[in-house]
Amino acid sequence: MKITFADKAPKTNLLVSGVYEDGNFGDVTKALDKTAQGAIKASIDNAEFKGKAEKVLRLPSVSGIDGQLVLVGLGDAKKYSPLILEKIGAKLFAALNALREKKAVIDLSDLPALKHHDTAELIAYIASGSLLRSWRFDKYRTKREKDEIPVLAELVFVTPSAKETQKAFETLAAIAEGNHLTRLVVSEPPNVIYPESMTAHAKELTEHGVKVEVLGEKEMEKLGFGALLGVGQGSIRESQLVVMQWNGGPENQKPIAVVGKGVTFDTGGISIKPSNGMEDMKYDMAGSGVVLGLLKSLALRKAKVNVVGVMGLAENMPSGSAQRPSDIVTSLSGQTIEVLNTDAEGRLVLADALWYTQDKFKPQYMINLATLTGAITVALGYEYAGLFSNNDKLSEMLTKAGEQVGELLWSMPMSKVYDKDINSDAADVKNIGSGRGAGSITAAKFLERFVNKTPWAHLDIAGMAWDKAERPLSGKGATGYGVRLLNAFLKDNFEKH
């Protein structure tokens, strides 16, 4: 999707103008004669369209306008926030896309400014919403009817200052590109995305200035990654640990570490999952997909912060070489783990990835993302990710960042009363609770044993990484949940120096 900004509206077949809830409408239409304006007003008052935010109305023939006029509802300007504007932009993209034009000119130059944002910046948010929504995963659809292939390829936003808008947009576009990369790797099938192909994606970031280091199975064996390697041992794909570093901050700034679960396919292993719905487990690498997308966005926007991104990558397969329920493995931390269910594999991968990260990089904060438990969707559905943390300040920073971008987090209990549920009779810890509920909490309590007092937060994104229903900014499928959240978290708390 090409998005540009202009100080004046160029000639176009498709002109878009804004309408507010109070019935006022935009600059473009003000230039028309009284009859045309009256006709537009009647259309606005009619039907469902009352200028409500996110609604779109198409007027194919208005005298004084060459092509089609599309009115976009801009709602109540008093209620604007960057997020509301991004949603307007996303809806606008979806509506324009349905009109089957190649290009549209969107004149919103009369948008009123907000307290902390001028009009240029607000238009950048609308453009960002359009860009986020424009991504789609259709590379394998080779045989579509011509009229099924989407054509909208260019948006021109008319703004009071094209230069300023462009500047504000560049940061948002970098974040959107990170989000798109995450959605790509999450959407790709597991015969395309496996540990080594994730590594290859990470290596592509070196051209943007990201430092990338990879541990293969041999190196991990030497270092003692017994928990992670156990998960991948039934697969013909080699497990990987990928470390990506973006050092855009001051030299003396301790890094913020972000660690992702990257189970590129989770069959459950010998504790095999039922076949119904197993296909969903292609997105069990979404946590690591977010880490990848985050690092890309940081590099593209040259973020002034030091971040270490770690992906723990393995494929969980049943086979003659797979680990068995009741195996005992020795983790990198030295703690022994009784593997009572090979389907509780994400925590095993993270146990070693988290220990390695805190030990090697001594981060000021460590955050992990994981599609860790089905139980989190029982608790929170598909609206909030679960937030588990040993640090209230970190929880608060993350929750606020999430609210800002519409990637919501709900704090879950981490009380020590849950600890006994994962004590093992045979080893230091077991990888499942006793089955008396609280499955997401016992999983988080398991991870906590591998963070060694580092201020840490675990985001259980099992309900958020993918949506079978439409989401405002991402439509159906992979959401990229986490990339925008972590960008906001880093921008607000660590990049202001």
Cα 292 off chain centre by: 10
Composition of the chain by helix, strand, coil, percent to 5: 40, 20, 40
Given 266, 421, 448, 460, the residue binding Zn ion (CB under 5 A): 266
- Considering the complex, what minimum distance in angstroms separates the CB of residue 435 from ligand BES? 8
CA dist 295 and 82 (Å) reads 23
Assess 346 for contact with Zn ion (CB under 5 A).
yes
Verify whether residue 254 is a known catalytic residue. no
As a whole number of angstroms, the distance between CA 117 and CA 123 comes to: 10
Least distance CB 373 / ligand BES (angstroms): 4
- Residue 451 interacts with which of Zn ion, ligand BES, Mn ion, none, CB < 5 to 8 Å by class: none
Q: Which of residues 54 and 284 has its CB atom nearest to Zn ion in the complex?
A: 284
Q: Spell out where 151-266 has E strands.
A: 154-158, 211-215, 240-247, 256-266
Output the six-digit token pair for 184.
Answer: 């790509």
Question: Binding residues for Mn ion, how many (CB under 5 A)?
Answer: 3
Query: What dihedral angle (degrees, nearest 10) is formed by the CA atoms of 373, 375, 378, 384?
Result: -40
Exactly one of 273, 304, 400, 471 is catalytic; name it.
273
**Angle CA(230)–CA(234)–CA(238) in degrees, nearest 5?**
80
Q: Is 266 in the site for Mn ion (CB under 5 A)?
A: yes
Residue 490 contacts residue 399 (beta carbons within 8 Å): no
Distances (CA, A) of 417 to 236, 429, 447: 40, 15, 15
Closest CB to ligand BES: residue number: 374
Where along the sequence are the contacts to ligand BES (CB under 6 A)? 266, 280, 284, 341, 343-346, 371, 373-375, 432, 439, 462
Residue 273: active-site member = yes
Identify which range of 73-81, 344-352, 417-425, 447-455 contacts Zn ion by CB under 5 A. Answer: 344-352
Residue placing its CB nearer to ligand BES in the complex, 406 or 439:
439
**Contact partner at residue 121 from Mn ion, Zn ion, ligand BES, none, CB < 5 to 8 Å by partner kind:** none
CB of 457 to Zn ion, least distance (A): 19
Residues 6+ apart with CB under 8 A from 407: 385, 464, 481, 482, 484, 485
- The rounded distance, in Å, linking the Cα atoms of 50 and 42 is 10
Applying CB under 5 A, the span of 140-148, 261-269, 360-368, 377-385 interacting with Zn ion comes to 261-269
Regarding 460 and contact with Mn ion (CB under 5 A), the answer is no
Q: Which residues does residue 259 pair with via DSSP β-bridges, in sequence order?
A: 310, 368
* Annotated catalytic residue, options 183, 282, 296, 347: 347
Residue 325: CB minimum distance to Mn ion, A: 12
Among residue numbers 343 through 382, which ones bind Mn ion (CB under 5 A)? 343, 345
Q: How many CB atoms lie within 10 A of CB 315?
A: 26
Residues near Zn ion (CB under 5 A) are 263, 266, 284, 346
Residues near Mn ion (CB under 5 A) are 266, 343, 345
Residues annotated catalytic, as ranges? 273, 347
